[in-house]
Amino acid sequence: MTRSRWRRRGATRRRPARGDPSAGVVTAEVAAALPALVVVVIAAVWVVSIAIAELRCADAAREGARAAARGDESSVVVDVAKAIASDDARVVVRIDGDLVTVEVSARIPVPIPFGDGLPAPTVRATAAAAMEQR
Q: How many CB atoms lie within 10 A of CB 51?
A: 12
**What is the predicted pLDDT for the residue at 110?**
84
- Which residues does residue 128 pair with via DSSP β-bridges, in sequence order? 101
Q: Which three-class secondary structure string do you get for the chain?
A: CCHHHHHHHHHCCCCCCCCCCCCCHHHHHHHHHHHHHHHHHHHHHHHHHHHHHHHHHHHHHHHHHHHHHHCCCHHHHHHHHHHHCCCCCEEEEEEECCEEEEEEEEECCCCCCCHHHCCCCEEEEEEEEECCCC
Classify residue 98: in a domain, yes or no. Answer: yes
Picking from 93, 90, 94, 83, the residue whose alpha carbon sits closest to that of residue 104 is: 90
- Which residues does residue 93 pair with via DSSP β-bridges, in sequence order? 102
Q: Which domain holds residue 118?
A: 33-130
pTM: 0.71
For residue range 82-92, list pLDDT tens digits in order. 999 988 899 99
Least confident of 4-18, 20-34, 58-72, 106-120: 4-18
For residue range 112-126, list pLDDT tens digits in order. 888 778 888 999 999
Q: Which distant-in-sequence residues (6+ apart) come within 8 Å of 61 by Cβ?
A: 81, 102, 103, 104, 125, 126, 127
Classify residue 23: in a domain, yes or no. Answer: no
Classify residue 8: in a domain, yes or no. Answer: no
Classify residue 16: in a domain, yes or no. Answer: no
| Number of independent structural domains in the chain | 1
